[in-house]
Structures are given as structure tokens and as C-alpha cells.
Amino acid sequence: MKMNHVGIMVGDMDQAVEFYTKALDMKVVMGNTKVKEERETAIGRMCIAVFGEGFKGFNIAHLLTSDGIGFELFEMKERQERHEVDFSRIGIFHFCLQTDDFHGVIKRTQALGGKVRMDIMRYHPESDNNTAQMVYLEDPFGNLFELYSHTYEETYAADYE
């Protein structure tokens, strides 16, 4: 199994594309595109099946991480409520990105309207060899994401030194 893409809701497509490309170094594959509610195309029928009748259309953009994972940004025409994470509910509550520019991404996130949710943490502070760092951040729309300085395996493997 491989990860293909993640889809997230945003409140302003132009701001979202700027944030994800400038703060997180993603590449635009397909820029801001309008999708309307219709039944004539397969995409139109799929959107009705996913979003329900009367979704009124949305804007979509497709971005790409440096390792080829897709990011779909959705800006719904009429559903613009800010995302608030409810930790009492079951479901996806964040995604995680890895970077070699850990502190630079944090600074750009804040400069472009995002937030830092916690102090930077090391998973293994007792080890001089494992310097893996992490932090939780938010995009300008309240979408929570985690940032790693190392790979998932390096961060959690008991024998990583």
C-alpha cells in the first residue's frame, strides 16, 4: 500500500495555494479550478455522491509534495465554517510532513498565517544519537498537521541510533 493523496478543506483557495507552496514547498500540479454541481460528467456524478445534492460547487487545486504525495485543496462555495479539531470524535485529525528545513518551515508557517501548537519536542531526548524533532502546526484554516525532522521509521524505531 502506498499513500497517494490527502484532501483538505480550506476557506480561501488563493491563500491556501500560497501557504502550501510557500510555507511547505509543495508544487502546483493543477491550479485553482472551479467544479460545479452537474450530472453530465463522471466527475460531476462523483461529487454529488461524495458531497450530496445541493453542494453548489467548489474550487479545487492539486499540489504535490517533493516525494510525490498529492494534496487536494477544496474550497466549498457555501460551507465555510473554520475547522476545529474535536478530539472526542473518531476520524482523521492531522497529517504529517517531513522536512530537512524544520525551523524554516515553522517560520514560514507563522509568516503565512499558520500557527505553532506546541513547543518543539524530541522523541528520544535521552539519546545523543537520535535527534528526531517534531511539532504540531496549523494551516491558516485550522487544519492540524505535524512536522517531522526525520523519517517515520527513524523517529519510532527502538533500535535507531
Domain spans in the chain, listed from the N-terminal domain onward: 1-81, 82-161
Is the pLDDT reported for residue 79 higher than 70? Answer: no
According to CATH, the topology of domain 82-161 is: 2,3-Dihydroxybiphenyl 1,2-Dioxygenase; domain 1 (3.10.180)
CA angle 40, 81, 137 (to 5 degrees): 110
On the question of a common fold for 1-81 and 82-161, the answer reads: yes
Q: Which residues contact 133 (CB under 8 A, 6 or more apart)?
A: 102, 120, 121, 122, 148, 149, 150
Q: What is the 3-state secondary structure (H, E, C) of 25-56?
A: CCEEEEEEEEECCCCCCHHHHHHHHHHCCCCC
Q: How far apart are CA 106 and CA 9, in angstroms?
A: 21
Please report the pLDDT score of residue 128 as a whole number. 66
Name the CATH superfamily, with its identifier, for domain 1-81: 2,3-Dihydroxybiphenyl 1,2-Dioxygenase, domain 1 (3.10.180.10)
Is the pLDDT reported for residue 120 higher than 70? Answer: yes
The per-residue pLDDT for range 6-60, each reduced to its tens digit, is 999 999 999 999 999 999 999 999 999 999 888 998 888 888 999 888 888 899 9
Give percent of the chain with pLDDT exceeding 70: 91
Is the pLDDT reported for residue 158 higher than 70? Answer: no
Please tell me the pTM assigned to this model. 0.87
Q: What is the mean pLDDT of residues 71-92?
A: 80
Please report the pLDDT score of residue 51 as a whole number. 84
Please report the pLDDT score of residue 22 as a whole number. 98
Is the pLDDT reported for residue 126 higher than 80? Answer: no
Please report the pLDDT score of residue 85 as a whole number. 73
Average pLDDT, the chain: 89
Please report the pLDDT score of residue 18 as a whole number. 97
C-alpha cell at 148: 517531522
